[in-house]
């Protein structure tokens, strides 16, 4: 008896969307890219001017990313807010909590501040693909510069 060794190579084909998500069929990938989420993410991706590993940039979680987006048109502000609300639909409900309403207003403020001051808007993307606001880059830097300074009490 003679033992014969045969090598068999199998290939599995997948389809990668513009944002790196893998699909088993071309049709699934095309459907995703044409969906509301796909369209918004594509528009958002066009605004990204820089991307970094959160750990390398600011010692955040090593499996998170930080992206910087440049808002040059009013539509860019809408794109960022629309994507955030699409991915976090609970902010669009009528009965959201006071805290969530305040956070949404803060996010809108970040967007407007970055746009008006021609600043880079920083957002994080966690390991699950959830987006979160860090804020305008210059505001973030200013917060760091003031970190540790005594809080000034307002005189009345």
pLDDT at 108: 97
For position 54, what pLDDT does the model report?
A: 85
- Report yes or no on 69 lying in a domain: yes
pLDDT tens readout for residues 35-92: 988 999 999 999 999 999 888 888 777 889 999 999 999 999 999 999 999 998 888 8
Residue 156 has pLDDT above 50, yes or no: no
Q: What percent of the chain has pLDDT over 70?
A: 96
pLDDT computed for residue 91 by the predictor: 87
Measured in whole angstroms, the distance separating CA 12 from the mean position of its chain's CA atoms is 30
In a domain, 123, yes or no: yes
Q: 123, 19, 141: which is closest to 70 by C-alpha?
A: 123
CA quadruple 38, 42, 45, 47: dihedral sign: negative
Q: For the whole model, what pTM was predicted?
A: 0.77
Q: What is the pLDDT of residues 67-79, one digit of tens each?
A: 999 999 999 999 9
Helix (H, G, I), strand (E, B) or coil at 101: helix
Residues in the chain: 156
Q: Are strands 48-53 and 22-23 parallel, antiparallel or unpaired?
A: unpaired
Asked if pLDDT for residue 129 goes beyond 90, the answer is: no
**Residue 105: is its pLDDT beyond 70?**
yes
- Report d(CA 9, CA 132) in Å as an integer: 42
CA 30 to chain centre: 22
pLDDT at 152: 62
7 domain-assigned: no
Domain that holds residue 76: 53-146
Inside any domain, residue 104 = yes
Region 110-132 average pLDDT: 95
- Measure the CA–CA gap between 64 and 131, rounded to whole angstroms: 10
The number of distinct structural domains making up the chain is: 1
């Amino acid at each position: 008896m003679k033992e014969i060794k045969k090598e068999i190579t199998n290939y599995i084909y997948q389809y990668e969307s513009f944002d790196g998500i893998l699909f088993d069929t071309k049709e699934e990938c095309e459907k995703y890219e044409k969906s509301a989420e796909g369209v918004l993410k594509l528009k958002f991706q066009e605004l990204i001017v820089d991307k970094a590993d959160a750990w390398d940039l600011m010692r955040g979680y090593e499996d998170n990313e930080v992206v910087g987006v440049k808002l040059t048109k009013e539509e860019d502000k809408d794109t960022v807010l629309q994507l955030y609300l699409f991915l976090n639909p609970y902010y669009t409900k009528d009965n959201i909590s006071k805290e969530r309403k305040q956070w949404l207003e803060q996010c809108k403020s970040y967007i407007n501040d970055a746009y008006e001051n021609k600043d880079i808007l920083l957002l994080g993307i966690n390991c699950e693909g959830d987006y979160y606001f860090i804020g305008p880059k210059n505001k973030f830097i200013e917060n760091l510069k003031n970190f540790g300074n005594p809080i000034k009490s307002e005189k009345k």
